[in-house]
Amino acid sequence: MAASQKAAPAVEAEEALEEAQIEEAAAEQVAEQAMDDAIVAEAEGDTETVEAEEAIVDEAVEAASEAADEEVSLEAILEDLKRREGRSE
């Protein structure tokens, strides 16, 4: 088997890991912005907007948590693939 064929699963795992990291960072940014918007809305007495922004924060935090969990799983898969490739060489 060619080296490029052995490396393909590791490359795919690395790409998936990068994507999970990007998703986590994006979700964290959304949560931070929504929290800021909720603070401003609360100061203005806009309870409807506060509730909507808090819901966005909750969803974004959940998305970030899921992305972090996926990241941990992908890191484990990547390490396993690297270990296997090292053995087969």
Question: What are 18-49's pLDDT values in tens digits?
Answer: 999 999 999 999 999 999 999 999 999 999 99
What pLDDT score was predicted for residue 59?
95
Q: Say which DSSP state 69 is in.
A: H
Q: What is the mean pLDDT of residues 65-89?
A: 85
Residue 80 to residue 74: CA distance in whole angstroms? 10
Share above pLDDT 70 across residues of the chain, in percent, rounded to a whole number: 89
* 1 to 32, 46, 65: CA distances (angstroms): 47, 64, 38
Look up residue 29 and give its two tokens: 């940014």
Confidence (pLDDT) at 85: 78
Evaluated on CA atoms 45, 48, 51, 54, the torsion sign reads: negative
Rounded mean pLDDT, 50-60: 95
